[in-house]
Structure 1
Amino acid sequence: MKKNIAIIMGGYSSEYEISLKSGNVVYQYLNKDKFNLYRVHIFNNKWVYVDDEQIETPIDKHDFSVILNGVKTTFDCVFNAIHGTPGEDGLMQSYFELLEIPQTSCSFYQAALTFNKRDLLSVLKSYGIKSAPSYYLNKGDNINENKIVEKVGLPCFVKANKSGSSFGITKVYEKVHLKDAIDIAYKEDDEIIIEGFLDGTEVSVGVIKYEGKTTVLPITEIVSENDFFDYEAKYEGKSQEITPARITSKQKENVTNVAASIYNILKMKGYTRSEFIFIGDTPYLIEINTTPGLTTESILPQQAQKAGISLSMLFESAVSEVLS
């Protein structure tokens, strides 16, 4: 008997449009001969099942079910394609854990930790994972530009602490522009991380659980046409994403080992995509995404295909892992 799979997409953050694209790609490629697929849009004002005619039917939040043709439909598994809150910060993971419904992304603690850049880097520092020098601000804190520059140098990146897809990020070259960058970041989050600029090759490393094993996918080199890998570079073609990356065998070995180590240290499951910048042969961690983009143009699917894993195989593996 075929299992019922709910593909959740949308979300409450600026990333909702990207999430809708990811979710629809999962719906397109996940094997309909093996699974009954249901697209579920999760928004602040509504949770709805959306059929192929775009007709919406409300989801019952008490047990995550839906009434279709007079019959109550429940789900054997949830495929999480929500970028940002509430799908990448632990909220949906906690909800489904309480309902005892398996879901394809990491557990609630890992999601909350990795979504909080400051906490993630602090935890991993004790394991020897390197990162850029950083300075933290919370909304309402006094802003001392001199202390910031003394700690992280210039240029630097001002980032919303809990945000994705490069929303709320500014590269700052002069101290006089710090305040404006901080104001931009506060539009996305009430916590900020300011990081020193690392001048080196940027790479993206996908790590997945595939056929029961932690698998590091072929590494992607990021070459942005813009000043950094911002929203336009990520989603509007203003970058080159070169897979496999043009890095040395030593760099490849080092970043592969670090990415796999992080995945195992944090007891991850599902997909992760980690960003690193090399200083010499040493990879410095920038961030970890636990529900990365899943469109045909997204980095992790590109990496999987280079590894001989089709989109159908990639998505089916995620479901099979949690149903086994």
Structure 2
Amino acid sequence: MAKYNNIAVIYGSDSSEWEVSCRSGEFTASRIDDTRYSIFEIFARFGKWYLVAMRKKDSMRVTFPEEARPEVDKNDFSVTVYGEKIKFDYAYIMQHGAPGENGLLQGYLEMLGIPFSSCSAFVSAVAFDKYSCKSYLKDVDYVNFAPDTFVRKGMDIKAVAAKTVETLGLPLFVKPTDGGSSFGITKVHKAEELEEAISFAFSEGPTVIIEKGISGREFTCAAYFDGNKVSTLPVIEIVTDNDYFDYEAKYNGHSKEICPAQIDESKSAHIQEVTAKIYAHLGCKGVVRMDYIDGPDGLYFLEVNTIPGMTSASLVPKMVRAAGLDITAFLNTLIENS
């Protein structure tokens, strides 16, 4: 017997990633087991939450036209459809960016006592901010971290840029600390490009991290709790046609995602072991993806993705297929063990 009855899949977001989030949410909702659960798709953006579609247990999917979408009552996380009040007893969060990836949505659900699919509010907040996450992990001895500089809007950018080039050298990666899908990221090859790259990163948020560029092969791996232990999925190698794995490479076909990665078993096992250790160290929940560069002196941590992409072409579904798992059964495992 299923633990939950009415699952709300929440997608859309307040960030630049909202369209990607919709694709992830729609795919996830379509793969949740409707013989066990009733599934309700919630589009949430800038404080307005609307029911866009529902698929009751063993029934067809029903969509609502934009002008007639029922609004979610955030007082008790419910919706009224055709005169029937439906209370959601579980949330599957598929919002990339704020508020679903930075802990705000998790905090709301925690206050209401509603179980959900992702990390806690605290862990989500720590993991979402790249600088905070690296600081939280910096004392571990099983993965490396690129040297970096932290920048907050209002600081003397000219002075920061000059000192960073002097201490870290080139190339550099300039990133918003709290963004995803490569929005606001620049790879800087020349010192005179750095100030503009910092300003561009500020378009996504008030804080920026500048990291020393590490050359090497890029890998990604995901971990999840299977009910007994932290398990990992097959490692993927990302080979991009571009200078780095940017938005164009991720979503417009300018990269190859080799799954499973064509590496020896010991390297694959090492990446999986590191991924499981980071998952446990942070106190993660649900499925979480970690990205790495395999540099000349070992494996370097890039970032944690607590709400990884879940479109049909996304990395985690590819890992699930490569592991020989059924995506619906995999989602059942995540939901029942949240």
TM-score bucket of the superposed structures, by smaller chain: over 0.9
Aligned-partner SS, 1:101: coil
- Name the Cα RMSD after superposition: 1.3
Distance 2:52 2:268 in 1: 43
Aligned-partner SS, 1:163: coil
Shift of 1:281: 6.4
Contact 1:3 1:76 in 2 (8 A): yes
Contact 1:133 1:151 in 2 (8 A): no
Distance 1:271 1:82 in 2: 14
1:299 paired to 2:309? no
Which residue of structure 2 lines up, in the alignment, with residue 127 of structure 1? 140
Which residue of structure 2 lines up, in the alignment, with residue 242 of structure 1? 258
Normalising by structure 1, we get a TM-score of 0.96
Distance 1:94 1:309 in 2: 31
Of residues 88, 91, 101 in structure 2, which corresponds to 1:78?
91
Structure 1 residues 143-292: aligned runs within 5 Å: 143=157, 144=159, 145-280=161-296, 282-292=298-308
Contact 1:254 1:281 in 2 (8 A): no
Distance 2:176 2:90 in 1: 32
Distance 1:207 1:180 in 2: 36
Percent identity for Structure 1 against Structure 2: 39
Shift of 1:146: 2.1
Which residue of structure 1 lines up, in the alignment, with residue 46 of structure 2? 44
Contact 2:215 2:296 in 1 (8 A): no
Of residues 9, 12, 15 in structure 2, which corresponds to 1:13?
15
Distance 1:156 1:292 in 2: 25
Shift of 1:308: 1.3
Q: Which amino acid aligns with 1:273?
A: R
Normalising by structure 2, we get a TM-score of 0.92
Aligned-partner SS, 2:117: coil
Shift of 1:38: 0.3
Contiguous gaps of at least 5 residues in structure 1: none
Contact 1:135 1:151 in 2 (8 A): no
Q: Which amino acid aligns with 1:132?
A: A
Which residue of structure 2 lines up, in the alignment, with residue 54 of structure 1? 64
Aligned-partner SS, 1:58: coil
Distance 1:235 1:211 in 2: 33
Aligned-partner SS, 2:199: helix
Shift of 1:45: 4.6
Contiguous gaps of at least 5 residues in structure 2: 54-61
1:309 paired to 2:309? no
Q: Which amino acid aligns with 2:149?
A: Y
Distance 2:299 2:265 in 1: 13
Distance 2:226 2:297 in 1: 28
